[in-house]
Amino acid sequence: MSMMGELTFFLGLHVKQSTEGIFINQSKYVSDVLSKYKLSDSSAMKTPMTTGSKIYADLEGKSVECKLYRGMIGSLLYLTASRPNIIFATCIYARFQANPKESHLYDVKRIFRYLKGTKNPGPWYPKNYGFDLMAYKDSDYGGCKLDRKSTSGSCQILGGKLVSWTSKKQNCVSTSTEEAEYIATASCCSQVL
């Protein structure tokens, strides 16, 4: 490799370095993906998912092309490198890649429409901010309507900088809210360690 100066773009990530810190976003990648899936002219949304939406397999719904659906999910998963705010919604709809339906595709397009309205956010890593470690976690008890498994989410912040985040369906069915929270706590603590 040769030294080509200060890093500005790398694998779809735009890196802006200054004396105050580093800002990372994927605005160009978002624009490219919106164009690729012909959603550039669609209206923007304020949230990636509707509140209180019922997510289900939709066995009677009309099937859509798996290749298109998987490509869209793959693009969204790549965007989670700088967009932790879409992880939960993306992971929910990634579960239907084997047999996607029109209702799932509609909801995935909503995530892209949300991205259209929020192209430039990303993590900001300020310089000389301290070295305190904070971790946050949460879970939804029995949130998956298909198998009643809970979803855990957590983020770890080191010195005011977001360094790790996750959203994952738990491996077992919890019998109480406390158990779901305990599993989320254990997962968060192992990430911290």
Q: Average pLDDT for residues 11-28, to the nearest whole number?
A: 86
Q: Average pLDDT for residues 136-151, to the nearest whole number?
A: 84
Do 134 and 111 fall within a single domain?
no
Q: Quick one: how many helices (H) and strands (E) in the chain?
A: 5, 7
Under the banding of pLDDT at 50, 70 and 90, the label for residue 168 is: confident
Do 136 and 175 fall within a single domain?
yes
pLDDT at 2 > cutoff 70: no
Task: Look at residues 13, 45, 140 and name the one whose alpha carbon lies nearest to residue 88.
Answer: 140
Name every residue whose Cβ is closer than 8 Å to that of residue 157 and which is 6 or more positions away in sequence: 133, 134, 135, 136, 163
Inside any domain, residue 10: no
Q: Average pLDDT for residues 7-36, to the nearest whole number?
A: 87
Pairing relation of β-strands 124-126 and 133-140?
unpaired
Inside any domain, residue 175: yes
Inside any domain, residue 124: no
| Single-letter amino acid, residue 107 | D
Kindly report the backbone phi and psi dihedral angles of residue 77, in degrees, each rounded to the nearest multiple of 5, phi listed first. Answer: -65, -35
Do 31 and 113 fall within a single domain?
yes
Question: Dmax over Cα atoms in the chain, in whole Å?
Answer: 56
Percent of the chain residues topping a pLDDT of 70: 96
Quote the tokens at residue 184.
């989320």
State the virtual CA torsion across 189, 49, 96, 106 in degrees, nearest 10. -160
Do 30 and 101 fall within a single domain?
yes
Do 111 and 38 fall within a single domain?
yes
Do 93 and 146 fall within a single domain?
no
Query: How far is Cα 151 from Cα 173, in angstroms, rounded to an integer?
Result: 10
Strands in 18-147 per DSSP E: 21-25, 124-126, 133-140
State the virtual CA torsion across 107, 113, 119, 124 in degrees, nearest 10. -30
Q: Return the pLDDT at 1.
A: 52
Domain boundary among 117, 144, 165: 117
Do 107 and 134 fall within a single domain?
no
Inside any domain, residue 62: yes
Name every residue whose Cβ is closer than 8 Å to that of residue 74 and which is 6 or more positions away in sequence: none
Domain boundary among 55, 84, 117: 117
Under the banding of pLDDT at 50, 70 and 90, the label for residue 53 is: low
Over residues 100-114, the pLDDT tens digits come to: 999 899 999 999 999
Comparing 29-43, 49-63, 171-185, the range with the smallest average pLDDT is: 49-63
Inside any domain, residue 9: no
Q: Which domain holds residue 67?
A: 26-117
Inside any domain, residue 171: yes
Q: Average pLDDT for residues 5-9, to the nearest whole number?
A: 80
Do 101 and 149 fall within a single domain?
no
Give how many domains the chain has, as a whole number.
2
Inside any domain, residue 67: yes
Inside any domain, residue 136: yes
Domain boundary among 91, 117, 143: 117
**Three-state DSSP class for residue 167:** strand
